[in-house]
Structure 1
Amino acid sequence: MKKSISPVPLLYPSPVLLICTYGSDGRPDAMAASWAGVCCSEPPCISLGIRKTRQTWENIKDRGEFMVCIPSETLVEETDFFGIASGKNLDKFSKTGMTPVKSEIIEAPYIEECPIAIACRVRNLMHIGSHTLIVGEILSILADEEACGEDGTPDMDLIRPLLYDSQKKTYYTVGEPSGKAFSSGMKFRRNLYEP
C-alpha cells in the first residue's frame, strides 16, 4: 500500500550539472544544478530551473547564453562546492582548480575537466514560483574523446555522470544497464492486436 507524502521536488534520477556563464564583468562563473532535463527534440533543448537570486540567473538573463557541463563522478567535491558557494564575490574556478575555457560558439565558458559541455542559447523563460524555467536550445555539444564509445557518441559508462537525490541530499553514480530502450518491451507489442 502506498502512503501520501507532502509535495516536494521529487524526481529520480536528477542529473547533476554545472551551468557556466560569464558575469557582467566578464568573469567566468558556474553553479551546480539538478532541476534540469531534456525538454524538446526538434529543436534540441534543455530546461533548467534556477532561482532569480542566483548569480547564474543574472548572467543568463544578461547574455542569453550558457553552457551545461556534465561532471563525472571524479568531480564530486568540486561540483558540490560550485553548488554551495556563491559566484557573486568568489572565484569558484581558482578555489577548486577547475579550468574555464572560452567557447568559440557562444558567450559562455565551459569546464575543461568535465567530459561533456553543451552550448545553449535561451529560447524561453517562464517564471513559475521560486524558480524560473529556462529553456535553452542546444547549439553544439563538445565531448572528450575518452567519453565517447566506439560509435563516436557520448557513452554514459565512460562519462560516469553524477546523479542527485534531493530528499537524502546525496550524490550517486550510474548503475548497471537494466534493459534496451525500444526493444525490451517488444514482447507486449507482438500481441498488440490480439484479445
Structure 2
Amino acid sequence: MKKSLGKKPLAAPAPVWAVGAYDLEGKPNAMIAAWGGIVSSKPASIAVSVQKARHTYAGILKHRAFTVSVADVAHAAQADYLGIDSGKDIDKFAATGLTPVRSELVDAPYIDEFPLIVECTLTNVLEVGVHVQFIGEIADVKVDEDKMSGSAPLPEAIQPLIFTPGARTYHGLGQLVGKAFSMGLEYRKK
C-alpha cells in the first residue's frame, strides 16, 4: 500500500547542480539548484528553477547565460555550502576553494573541480509559483577526460551527487542496473 504525502516537491532524487552566473558587478557566483532537468533534445536545452530573491537570478538575466556544474560526491561539502550562504554577502569561491572558470562560449563561469559542465545561453524565462524557470540552449558539455568511456560520460566515474528533497539528504549513485532501450526488449511483442 502506498502512503500519501500530499502536495510536495518530492520527485526524488533530484540533481545537485551548481548554477553559475556572473553577478551584476561581473563577479563569479554559483548557487545549488535541485529543481532542474533536460527539457528538449532539439534544440538541446535544460532548465533550472531559481527564486527571484536569489543573488544568481539577476546575473542570469543580465548576462543571458548560465552554466550547470554537476556536483560530485567528492565535493559534497563545498556543493552544500553553495546553497547555504548568498553570493551577495560572501565570495563563495574563496570560501570553498573552488575555482571559477570563464566559459569561452557563454557569459558565465563554471566550477573547474566539478566533473561535468553544461554551458547554456538563456532562451526562455517562465514564472512558476515562487520560482522562475530559466531555460537555456546548451552551447557545450564538458567532461573530465578520465570520466569518459569513448564519447560518453561514465556516471560511475563522475559520481554525481543527488539530493532527496523530503529527507534533505545527499546520496551517491548506485550500481549499474542495465542497458537502456535494451533491457525491456523482452516485453516487445514479436
TM-score (norm 1): 0.94
Residues 10-69 of structure 1: per-residue CA shift (max 9 Å, x gap): 112211010011011111000011100011000111011110110111111111101110
CA distance in 1, matches of 2:86, 2:74: 22
The aligned counterpart of 1:122 is: 122
Shift in Å, 1:112: 0.8
1:106 aligns with 2:90: no
Shift in Å, 1:126: 0.8
The SS at the match of 1:76 is helix
The aligned counterpart of 1:58 is: 58
The SS at the match of 2:26 is coil
1:26-45 equivalent positions in 2, closer than 5 A: 26-45=26-45
The aligned counterpart of 1:176 is: 175
In the alignment, structure 1 segments of 5+ residues that lack a partner are none
Residues 149-190 of structure 1: per-residue CA shift (max 9 Å, x gap): 1x1321111100000000000000000112211011111113
The SS at the match of 1:89 is coil
1:166 aligns with 2:165: yes
The aligned counterpart of 1:18 is: 18
Shift in Å, 1:73: 0.4
CA distance in 2, matches of 1:180, 1:13: 20
The alignment covers a number of residue pairs equal to 190
Query: Which stretch of structure 1 is more off in the superposition, 105-114 or 2-11?
Result: 2-11
In the alignment, structure 2 segments of 5+ residues that lack a partner are none
Taking only the aligned residue pairs, the percentage that are identical comes to: 37
The aligned counterpart of 1:139 is: 139
CA distance in 2, matches of 1:19, 1:71: 10
Contact 2:13 2:165 in 1 (8 A): no
CA distance in 2, matches of 1:169, 1:2: 21
Higher Rg: 1
Shift in Å, 1:124: 0.8
Counterpart of 2:82, as a letter, is: F
CA distance in 2, matches of 1:122, 1:22: 13
TM-score (norm 2): 0.97
CA distance in 2, matches of 1:103, 1:47: 18
The aligned counterpart of 2:184 is: 185
Shift in Å, 1:4: 2.3
CA distance in 1, matches of 2:5, 2:94: 42
